[in-house]
Chain A
Amino acid sequence: MLRFILKRLLQAIPLLLGIATITFAMVHLAPGDPMDMYMEQRFQREVDPQVIELLRKKYGLDQPLPVQYAKWIGNVAQGDLGESFRYRRPVTSLIAERVPYTLQLAVLALFFDALIGIALGIISAVRQYSRTDRAITVGSLVMYSIPGFWLALMLVLVFSVNLNWFPTSQTRSLDYELLSLPGKVLDRLWHLALPVFVLGVASAAGTARFMRNKLLDVLSEEYVVGARARGLSERAVILQHALRNALIPIVTIYGLALPFLLGGAVLIEKVFAWPGMGLLAVEAIGARDYPVILATSMIAAVLVVVGNLFADVTYALVDPRVSYGGKRLA
């Protein structure tokens, strides 16, 4: 098992290096200059071109691209992600501030997805072709198809602007520090409600569809028919036999879902002014803040690799039939 994980991690190195090279090339070859943020700032004052040249030199932007690349890779290998052009602060500290916010959203959205998606999938499968099944099927398809940013804006319009039930932005109330501990917890949940719902609802709809189909497949397997023939109750058949096997592929989905949730968080963070990594990445792209763009892209790439690995390993752990490299892992 350990060998398998190490092998996969070693395989990931050239992959990540490739991604790093392509991302670096794309970012630097794309039109736009990071020093443009100093151009006619606030439409009133043009920064002295001499100052811009000095800044260019400071950040190494005056050097040939291969030299810039070699320096960047060398620094990244030592854990130094550089200094943000825009904030003029180390990228690692910027990201360290933002990651917890994004993880809050992503983890709660995954939880929401699992809770609602699996439950609806089971109900749908158990009541196949019933009105409930049809309603869940149609509802899932609709929720799966709705663009996240549109849903976010609609929810803000209805629940924040019109009904005034939920906040429109930020992670906490202005007076958060004055609240008691339960008050603080409620306040955080209150702020998380809409973004988590938007982020989790589409994947929950997908999970529901997947769960339904998988459970129906399993329910038609011989061992389930055998269990029924032995006189087990339908509840026992589903909970003790069918459900466990139907849940196995779901594990794979969750392993792969995390990077996609982070991708979705970019838009959600923008709409709700949620100060996470996604918003940082969007702002960085707009400002051509190369070090931040590269760092956030690399983190996303690492998450995809780790997510895949997690999916493979957990799949092997929960399903004894799966083996890697000729040996069973579990």
Chain B
Amino acid sequence: MHLRARIGLPALFVAAAVTVGGCAPQDNTSSDDAASPGTSAAAPACDKGKLATHAAGKLTIGTDKPAYAPWFQDDPANGKGFESAVAYSVAEALGYGKDKVVWQTVPFNNSFSPGAKDFDFDINQVSISDERKQAVDFSSGYYDVRQAVIALKSSPYAKAKSVADLKGAKLGAQVGTTSLDTINDVIKPSQKPAVFQKNDFAKSALRNKQVDAIVVDLPTAFYITGAEVTDAEVVGQFPNTGGATEQFGLVLDKGSKLTSCVSRAVDGLRQDGTLAKLEKQWLSDAVDAPVLK
């Protein structure tokens, strides 16, 4: 009797494991299989307001928290700030009115995780790159980014005229940003750059003179020098580093059924001048900063 119980239990366990392993995920397989080819093969119709969204009838948009100015102002749902405005314009173009938009907090690092996404698209100043495209889908670019350097006015690096002038500086940037790539690939400084979890920490370090200068995108640079670290100034912006312009894109799940629809919506907004208008409205002062040679 003892013997039987002992053999019976593992057998039961194995059987249970096989059942769980065999059945549970298969539902996903079929839906995944149906999804991926559907996207590439037959272009979906993008029926307004009737997309296969995360939550039926709603459009779920993700962004990080806190969401930073000038991209957002306090609450993403208020439509203020460039990215908030763009998000609502895209939603409108897809047939989802303001009341049908749901905002979701998505930390940057989670936006590219391979699991199921809890957003339809994520808008968080994510630059499009070929490497990243292997992990997620991007919409067409909605903003052409330039990187810029800011330094305290009292710092000798505030007078830098060229990229070479910055070589000796202790530079800082936020992790996972193309700003950091700019430091490593364009400036190639002699000191290891400081890498910060958030631009907030980079700002503190700049204020404390723990770094000589930090690299951020141009609108953020103007916002920081205009409102947050007022004794700092924009030293200059970087020239476009050959080839394609760096662009921010909306992040979608890899193989998302919505990618082509969202891209079409963004393209439409670019063509009808909406993006340019929003840029002027929210990022208007990001116009003239000397280009570093």
Q: Do A and B bind each other?
A: no
